[in-house]
Structure 1
Amino acid sequence: MVQKYQSPVRVYKHPFELVMAAYERRFPTCHLIPMFVGSEVVNEEVSEDGSVHRVERRCALDVDAPRLLKRIAGVDHVYFNQKNTLNKRERTLHIESRNESFSNRVVVHETCCYSVHPENEDWTCFEQTASLDIKSFFGFESTVEKIAMKQYASISAWILQNLNQSMLTPLLLGNCTLCCWTSYLEHPGDPCTGSSSNLKVFNSVADKLDADYIKRYLGDLTPLQESCLIRLRKWLQETHKGKIPKDEHILRFLRARDFNMDKAREILCQSLTWRKQHQVDYLLETWNSPQVLQDFYTGGWHHHDRDGRPLYILRLGQMDTKGLVRALGEESLLRHVLSINEEGLRRCEENTKVFGRPISCWTCLVDLEGLNMRHLWRPGVKALLRIIEVVEANYPETLGRLLILRAPRVFPVLWTLVSPFIDENTRKKFLIYAGNDYQGPGGLVDYIDKEIIPDFLGGESMCEVPEGGLVPKSMYRTPEEVESEDVRLWTETIYQSSSIFKGAPHELVIEIIDAASVITWDFDVCKGDIIFNIYHSKRAPQPPRKDPLGAHGITSPGLNNVQLIDKSWTLGQDYSMVESPLTCKEGESVQGSHITRWPGFYILQWKFHSMPACSATNLPRVDDVLATLQVSSHKCKVMYYTEVLGSEDFRLVTTLP
C-alpha cells in the first residue's frame, strides 16, 4: 500500500521573487544542509519569451549508511532527480523529486509548489505532497512504510520550526525533507542528519496562525494526523459539491477509526448521506418536541463539567419508557435524541469560544435511581438499541465521559443487553457508581464542580430536568396510529433511494411540456461506482410490470429498482443521449442541471459501472483497484432528488445569494 503525506498550506510573508532568489542559493550546494553534497544540471530549457524556466538536476546526498550497504548499491552517495518549472508570469514554482538510488526497493515521490497568496500578492504560499512505496524490504514493506511516513511527517514539522529566517530557508523544505526521508529509509536508526546548531526558529506570523488554529479549535495533532485531516477534507471538496462538514466534524470520524483514512472516509460518507436524506442539518430549526416529551422525557442540558464540556443529565430511572413508546412511537423518540445530539454539537462550538480551547465532546450524567424490570419492556429496549445504533454511526467521538450513578441490581441485565451495540472506545468512557459511591473521593466532584451538581444528587444547583412520572394511559395511541406516525417520520424526506445491479440500471422518466424547462438533480453514490446518463425520447416508455415478489415495504426504500428503456429500443432511433455520460465513484455527491431543447420524455439513468481491465500502458491507480475489490457484490446504491424548473425560475434560483 502506498503511504501518502500532505502538508497544510504554509504562508510566508515575503514576495514571491525574493523567495525564488533565496531558493536558488541552495544550488549547487548549501552549507545549511550538510547532507546535501551537491547537484548538477542535467537539462535546462527557457521559453522563447523567457517566462518559463525548466531545470532538471541530479542531486547527491551523503547518507550515513553502512559501508557494506553502499558497496552493494555501488554508490558512495544517494542520488535523486529533481525537475523544477518556474513560471515568472504566473509566479509559480513547481518542484517534482524522485529518488534514483535504491529505486528498485523504495519509490519516493514528492511534489512542492510555491505560489502567490490569493489575497496578498506580497506573500508566498508553500504546499507539499509526498508518497512512499516500498516494493521490497525483506517482507516488512507495510511496517517500514508506516514507520517511514511517520518519520517523514516528523522531519517536515522539525524543518518548518528550525529554519534560518535571514536566508528564507523555509525554501529548503522541498529537497531537505526528501533527503532526510531517503536517508532514513536506508538507515532508519538515525534522525535527520542535518546540523541544527546554525538553525534558528522561524517566527512567521502566518505559520503561528496555522498552529494556533489547530491548537485553538482542533487540539493536539501529530503531523501525520494533520495530513490525514487535510487529505480527507480535500477529497470531500472534490467529490461533495454540497455542504462540507467542519474540520471538527471530520476529525471525529478520523479519531473514531484511529486515523485510518479508508475506514474514516467510508463511515463519514455514509453519515453525510444519512444527514442529507433525513435533513438532519435542519433538525434544530424544524423539530418541535411533542408536549408529552416536554413533560415526561427526563433529560436536559445543565451547565458544564470541570473540563468545559456541556453537561447533559438523564434521569433514566424516573422515565416511563413504555409510556413514551406507546404514546409517541420509536421514530419520534429517535428524532428527539438526534435533536439532543445536534444541540450538543452546537454547545461544543459555543464552549470552544468561551473557554478558548477545543471542546469537541460533552459529558452525560445518567441517574438510574428507580430503574427496575419495567424498564426492560421489550419494545422499549428495542427502541433504545435502535437509538444507540444510529448515534454510534453518526456521532462518533462526541461523548467525552458517561457518568452512571446509583446503579441498582437490575442494571447488569440492562448492560448485558446494550453493551454489544456500543463501540469499545465509547465503553471505555463509562464510569459506573452503585449506591452512594459517587459522593466519595473519585466520585462526582472530580468531574463536576460542587456548585453545579444537581440538587437531587445532593448538590447546590437547581436542575430544571423534568422529574418524569408515568405517562397517562389516555395519551397512549393504538399500534396502528404509532406505526402510521413512524412511517410518516421515516419517509419525511425529499430523497429517494434505489439499488442498481449489474445489467439492471435504475431509470426515472420526466415528461417535459415546455422546451425551455430545466431538469435539476442531486444524488449521492452510497455504494459502488455508477454511470449517470440522460436520454430523450419522443414516445413515453412503458411503465415496468409490477412484480409482487419484488415489492418492498416503506421501511426498506433502498431496494427499489425501475427499468424503463425497453430492450428492443435502439439508441439513435427510439431515443437519444442528450448529455455525455458521467462516471461517479462511491462516496461522491453530484449536483447538476440540463436545459431541455425539445418537449417529450427525458430519462435519467443510473447504471452499474465496471472497472476497465488493467493494461500495461494504462494502469489504474492503487486506490481504484482497492475500491473495486471492496465491492463484494454486483450492486450499487444511490440516493437522489430531481426537480423540474421553468427557465425563469432556474435563473432566479441560481442568482440568489
Structure 2
Amino acid sequence: HLSKLSCPLAAYERRFPTCHLIPMFVDSEVLEETESEDGSIHQVQRRCKLDVDAPRLLKRIAGVDYVYFSQENTLNKRERTLHIESHNETFSNRVIIHELCSYSAHPENDDWTCFEQSASLDIKSFFGFESTVEKMAMKQYASSIKKGKEIIEFYLNQLEEEGISHVPRWTPSLDAPFSSSSSVTTKPVCATPTLLQLELPVTPLDADYIKRYLGDLTPLQESCLIRLRQWLQESHKGKIPKDEHILRFLRARDFNMEKAREILCQSLTWRKQHQVDYLLETWTSPQVLNDYYTGGWHHHDKEGRPLYILRLGQMDTKGLVRALGEESLLRHVLSINEEGLRRCEENTKVFGRPISCWTCLVDLEGLNMRHLWRPGVKALLRIIEVVEANYPETLGRLLILRAPRVFPVLWTLVSPFIDENTRKKFLIYAGNDYQGPGGLLDYIDKEVIPDFLGGECMVIPEGGLVPKSLYRTAEELENEDISLWTETIYQSASVFKGAPHEVVIEIIDASSVITWDFDVCKGDVVFHLYHSKRAPQTPRKDPLVGQHSSITTPGGNNVQLIDKSWTLGLDYSMVESPLTCKEGESVQGSHVTRWPGFYILQWKFHTMPGSASTNLPRVDDVLASLQVSSHKCKVMYYTEVIGSEDFRLRFLPSTLSFQCAPVLLSLTNPSSTSFCLFL
C-alpha cells in the first residue's frame, strides 16, 4: 500500500525521461501519446534504453551495448487505475520478457493504493548462454522489485517536500462527452477488467472472522480475497465456494488475481461437470480397494492437521490398476481429498484456529521396481495432475519414510508434475533415521504413531498382492474408455504356430538396459531375446498378404524380422535364456546390453521346436496356419530402453545420486543414512 492513489501516480511520472535512482535506465522517448475526448484516459507509449549489467564477453557475442524495451502506460482517471505493460524489443526472437504492473484504489479505503506486479521470461536461444541469461534476468528482476518501491517512496517524499501531499481527483467537465477505455485503446491492457472493477459494493471481512477461519492476511491479500469472491458472485450463478477454498487458489498463485481466477474457474467447472461436490455421498469404494488399498486417515499431527497415512511400499499398484482401472483409482483419490477438506473444517472448529491443509505420511518400505510399472506410473501422474489443479495448497507437509534405493527413480518421474510450492513441503528420510532428532516425533505425537513404525496404533493393513483372478481384461478396460491399454503404452500382437512375433531395438550405448513388460492373454508362448550386429530387414511387400509380410488380424499384429536364411550362433546370438510363459501370466524383465547393435525380442508359439527359429516359414505357410485357431496366441507388451546414465542411477550398489532440477540430491549408503530434502 502506498499513501494516496493520486500521489503515487504523480510520483511515477517523475521517473521519466531518465531516473538517476536506476543507473541502468539510460534514456526514454515518447513514441505516441493519446488522450480521450473527456480527458479521462491518458495513454503513453515509450521506448526505453537500458544498459544491462551483463558480462563484457556476453555483450561482445550479442553485439549490443544497450537493450531497448517498449512500454505502454494507460492511466484511467475515471476508474483510478494505471496499467503498465512492457516487453523487450532487443533479441525478441531469442528472449521474450513481458511485464505487467498495475496501480489501483484499495476496495475498502479509496485513499490507499494497491500495487501489483508480474513478469514472465521465455528464453528460446541465446548463443549457448541460455542459463547465464536466465540467472542474470532473474537476479536483476528480483532486485528491481525492491528498488521500485524505494523509488516511488523517494518521489513521494520529494512531492511532500514541495508541499504536494494531495492531488485532487479527476472530475469530468460538464460539456465533455463520456468516454470509456474502449474508445481509445486498441488492445486491452488488463485481460480481466472485472477483477479490478472497484465501483461495485464490497463487503469487508470481519477481523475476528479472518483470525478464526482464515489465518493471518496482509491488507493486500485480504483485498484480493474480497475482490475475487465478489467477482465470483457477479459472474457465477449458483454455489460460490467458501472463503477458505478461494484463498487456497490465491495462495497457489502468490495472490496473482488473474492467474488465481483462471485456475479457480477451471476447477469450479470441473467440479460441476463431474459432480465432485456429491462425491462423498455417491462414491462407494470397490471391495478390492477395501481389501488391498494401504492408506487411510488417522488422527492429526501436532499442529492439528488431519493426518493421512499411505503404505505405498506395501501396495500392489499394478494389481490395483489391472483390477480397477485408472478411473476408479482416480475417483478414490478424489474422495480422499474431499474427505480431507471436510476434516480440515472439523479440526478448525475443534482447535479454534484455521486448519486449511493436512499432513501426509508415506511409508516406502517395500518399494521396488515393480512399483515403477509404466501404466501404474502413468496413472499416478494423471492423479497428480488432477489433484494439483483442483486441490492446491491442501497439503501442509509430506513425510516420506524409509525411502529405498529405488525411490530416486520414482521421484525423477513424478517430480516435474508437482508444483514447486508443494515440493517445498516434502521431508524425505531413508532407513530408520526418522526415529531420531528432527524425525517423526517432531511432527506426530507418540501416541498416534502406527505399529509398523514402532508405535502402538494398528491402523493401516499391509495390503498384499491383488489376486490375478480379479484382473480385468484389456477389452473390459477399453470399453470403459480408459486409455491405459489403448494409447501408445501397450501393443497387442498375435503369435501363430510357425510365425513368432518379433520386435527390434537398436542400441547405441552398450551399457543401456532393455526392459519389457508383457501379458500372455491367450495360449502359451516362449520368450527369447537375441542380438545381431546386422539390422534385420524391414518386412517386405508380398502380394499374398496385401502389403507387407507383417500380418494384421483382428486379434493383433504379427511381425517377423529374423530372416529365414540367418543361422543362430552365426548371424545372431541368444542373450537371454528362453522363458516359457503360460496363459494369464504377467512378465516383467530387463537386460543389460553388453554390445551395441540390434536386439530382437521374440514371442514364439510354445510347442514349436527350438530349432524352428532358424528356419522361419514363408508367408504362404503362415497364412495357412491362420486357419487353425488353436495355433494362435496373443500377447500384450510394452518395451523401453533406459540410457546408461539412468541405468547407473537405478542400479549403482553403494552410492546413489540423482539430478532433479533445480536440486541435486545424493545419498551414500542409503540403508543407514537419513536425509531430509527441502525442495
Q: TM-score with structure 1 length normalisation?
A: 0.47
Considering only CA atoms, is the larger Rg found in Structure 1 or Structure 2?
2
Q: TM-score with structure 2 length normalisation?
A: 0.46
